[in-house]
Homo-oligomer: A and B are copies of this chain.
Amino acid sequence: MITKALSSIALDQNAGASLQTQLCLKLKAIIEAGSFKPAEPLPSSRELAKDLHVSRNTVIAAYDRLVGEGYLEAKARSGLFVTSSLADLKHLPPHRKGTLSSADPSTKSPVPRLDTPPPFRPCQPDVRLFPLALWNRMRSRSLKEHGSRILHYQSNFPAGLPALRQSLAGYLRDSRGVRCDWRQIAITTGSQQALFLLAHLLLKPGDRVLMEDPGYLGARLAWNSAGASVQPAPVDENGIVPSFRESPSPSLVYTTPSRQFPTGACLPLARRAALLDHAAKLSAWIIEDDYDSEFRYTRPPLPSLHSLDSSNRVIYLGSMSKVLFPSLRIGYLVLPDSLVDKFSSLRAVVDDHGPLIDQATLAEFISSGAFYTHIRRCRREYVERLSTFLRAAEHTAVPLVFPHTDGGMNLMGLLPPGTDDAFCSRELKSAKLDIPPASRYAIKTTKPGLLFGFTAFDHSTIRNLMRVVADSLSFAIKKRSKVIKCHQSRFRTGG
């Protein structure tokens, strides 16, 4: 009964794929090669199992799968047959025939490992501090509470789950003085999506965006993707300098007032007021990216721009990536009423809505107070790492000055004037350190510096690697000045 074709099957107990999968693939290859006659029934599972020296369950499961996928069909009282209409498959391009039996070549190529942030990559929270077990319990509770509703499409809520938007409205009111109706809150899959959606909501090709320089690259990409051009705004030790060119006037101003990215400056109240005045005069939107506002170590928070705005032109942007964990992919916007419906329409085209189970869990996490507890815990831990970092920097006498050490997750270390920070960053890279140069974030020239993240790394890592930083930097600065001197002397001698 076992046909010649089937007798060619050989299964490998030690292969990566299960016997069932191997059998499926080989049967498909035989069927697709046309070696099996449609009129002839397949052997019973018992027979084939005996012949192949595998358990009968393996054959039953393989047959079941092939019936499910339409390769085989059962005929009453006659057994299993190759599906009659599979004669069509003779039209298959020749390159495909017989290939199904071979393993997927791609599974053999090495798979890249997931990334763990190398020191001192900026903007990385210590995800080991996150109370994952508690989060998972709240997730189970949310699933029970919402029942199957939470699994359905909720296309009525492209801006996110109402429960989460309410919890966030409470948090923003308590912590940042942002007063809004929950309907003004729009959940996004992170701050990058928020920026992208705002760009396409507010800008048209040729519009101008005033943006801190140096500033956040992801934002610049978003404005450019909408066809807008970026007008750099100077940043000094107090953050963005609120001087607008009136013509051509910008449609939008992007700023990180709580802690300027990447310099770390905090925008004083007077400048906040001036920024609001200017924007009102020019009818420009302000995007307040309240990046890093949760982590303040010495000073109380200044009121958010949103809380100071009386003309509804500030759009507040926040993210859970750094407060909870980055791969959660939840960010949010506080929109003026006039943009709420437009946002929903755009979101319906871009991706309908975000994943909802995580949103329901986060709502519970915030309203239970666990969110506040977690932020406090991170703050306590991060302020200690900050002090370890600064002590180590002092101890190893790194050639860096840190002007803003009162908050956030990153420290901008200024290099001696004239140093090539990109060159230094490359030298550090060869020591497996990821410390980007200030110039990477700048359109015009900026003070040379290096941006360190300190929050994701242990005290011992910080201490040990600061020595490597110090050595690499001294070496890089000397090497560079030699190269420059050499160039200069060649220039003088005309060589």
Contacts and interface: CB of A to CB of B under 8 A. Distances in A.
A355 B328 contact: yes
A452 B113 CA distance: 45
A350 B173 contact: no
Nearest to A196: B350
Contacts of A25: 174
Main secondary structure, interface of A, reads: helix
Interface string A144-166: 00101111111111000111001
A189 B111 contact: no
Most chain B CB atoms below 10 A, which of A105, A170, A348 = A170
A266 to B, nearest CB: 11
A152 B70 contact: no
A151 B127 contact: yes
A192 B156 contact: no
Interface in A170-215: 170, 173-175, 177, 179-183, 188-190, 192-193, 196
Contacts of A280: none
Interface string A122-149: 0010011010100010001001001011
A354 interface: yes
B193 A351 contact: yes
A104 B327 contact: no
Contacts of A24: 174
A28 B153 contact: no
Contact of A106 (B20, B182, B301): B182
A86 interface: yes
A375 B326 contact: no
A356 interface: yes
Interface string A270-306: 0001000000000000000000000010011111000
A8 interface: no
B357 A327 contact: yes
A153 B327 contact: yes
Contacts of A146: 114
A200 to B, nearest CB: 8
Interface in A56-88: 64-65, 68-71, 73, 83, 85-86, 88
Contacts of A422: none
Nearest to A155: B115
Contacts of A181: 105-106, 109
A247 interface: no
Nearest to A273: B91
A86 B177 CA distance: 13
A92 interface: yes
A229 to B, nearest CB: 16
A225 interface: yes
Interface stretch (A93-101, A409-417, A443-451): A93-101
A182 B177 CA distance: 47
A377 to B, nearest CB: 10
A114 B356 CA distance: 11
A430 interface: no
Given A107-B166, A192-B350, A349-B192, A325 B152 contact: yes
A292 to B, nearest CB: 14
A269 interface: yes
A33 interface: no
A313 interface: no
Contacts of A155: 115
A189 B355 contact: yes
A426 interface: no
A64 B153 contact: no
A440 interface: no
Given A83-B300, A93-B310, 5 more contacts: A92-B308, A113-B149, A127-B148, A152-B327, A225-B349
28 contacts: A18-B369, A25-B174, A28-B174, A68-B375, A70-B299, A70-B300, A85-B299, A85-B300, A92-B177, A93-B308, A96-B179, A96-B307, A105-B181, A106-B183, A107-B170, A112-B162, A114-B154, A114-B161, A115-B156, A130-B151, A132-B143, A151-B328, A192-B350, A192-B351, A192-B352, A193-B352, A222-B349, A225-B349
